[in-house]
Amino acid sequence: MSLHGKAALVTGGARRLGRAIALALGRAGMRVAIHYHASAASAEEVISEMRTYGVECIAIPGDLSRVADCERVVDATLEQWGRLDLLVNNAGIWGSTPVGSVTEERWDELLNTNLRSMFFVAQRAADALRASHGVIINIADVGVERPWRNHTPYLISKGGVVTLTRALAKDLAPEIRVNAIAPGPVLLPDDWGAEQAERVARTTLLRRIGSPEDIADAVIFLAQAGYITGVTLPVDGGHLLH
């Protein structure tokens, strides 16, 4: 589909991958609603940059671990523009959770934010997306295929995102296409040094770390790829083949 003039909602759109995705959609001419949780200042920076592109952008706060906020974020987008053409389910959290240290509260926080929220945001948006023959893009993780240590609840949540993508593609067809993107080594922990980054780069066939813009490019592609649904696209520099 042509993106110019259409409306998008990007959850977790104020920082990191979400910011790059939101800005790419703005450059493509879309009106963009960015959801944020605790990054109000970052959200305002995204809005300011969007204005330089000559496109409309709004910021909507919400804690997507709560179903009521999932629904409110969609409702606020529809109140602003009366339509929704693209939903990017990007919001998520992660962190080290060694077996033996995982609490019920941490499990619920990871699963509710990373997986449950995607379903309830999509469910609330479904009628509007049907009307526009729109698109849902979920952000997964290549770690689902090659798990690393001490992140089991996080990886379970992202495995659920892959299943959710396939199931929603069936449930919402033919009006809505649903796909996922599985980033590989793109954003490394802030406290990692050059040696650790180089070690990770060597786990890819392209021998480099990716960028948030690589993920944003994939979002633009899938948003317009009218005969693709139900797939999870790795954007990993060949990490899974290494």
pLDDT given at position 191: 80
Which pLDDT band holds residue 27 (cuts at 50, 70, 90)?
very high
CA–CA distance, 60 with 12 (Å, rounded to integer) = 10
The SS3 of residue 108 is helix
Give a yes or no: residue 123 inside a domain. yes
> Confidence class of residue 188 from pLDDT cuts 50, 70 and 90?
confident
Helix, strand, coil percentages for the chain (3-state, nearest 5): 50, 15, 35
The whole-angstrom separation of Cα 64 and Cα 76 is 14
Percent of the chain at pLDDT > 70 equals: 100
Sequential DSSP letters for 18-78:
HHHHHHHHHHTT-EEEEEESS-HHHHHHHHHHHHHHT--EEEEE--TTSHHHHHHHHHHHH
CA angle 112, 116, 119 (to 5 degrees): 160
Task: Report pLDDT for 60.
Answer: 98
* CATH number for 29: 3.40.50.720
pLDDT the model gives residue 189 = 77
Which of the four pLDDT bands, split at 50, 70 and 90, describes residue 61? very high
With respect to residue 223, please indicate whether it lies within any of the assigned structural domains. Answer: yes
> Hey, what are 165's tokens?
């993508």
- For the entire predicted model, the pTM comes to 0.97
Q: What is the pLDDT of residues 115-161, one digit of tens each?
A: 999 999 999 999 999 999 999 999 999 999 999 999 999 999 999 99
Tell me what pLDDT residue 193 has: 86
Residue 48 belongs to what domain range?
7-241
Please state the domain count of the chain: 1
Is 1 part of any domain?
Answer: no
pLDDT score at 96: 92
What pairing do the DSSP bridges indicate for beta strands 7-10 and 86-89? parallel
Q: What is the mean pLDDT of residues 7-30?
A: 98
Q: Which of 122, 132, 29 is nearest to 84 (CA)?
A: 132
Q: What is the mean pLDDT of the chain?
A: 96
Alpha-carbon span 130 to 85, nearest angstrom: 9
Tell me what the mean pLDDT of segment 103-110 comes to: 97
Is 36 a known active-site residue? no
Which pLDDT score, from 0 to 100, does residue 192 have?
83
Question: Do residues 153 and 110 make contact, with C-beta atoms less than 8 angstroms apart?
Answer: yes
- Among the listed residues 36, 53, 154, 227, the single catalytic one is 154
Task: For residues 117 and 227, give the distance between their C-alpha atoms in angstroms, rounded to a whole number.
Answer: 26
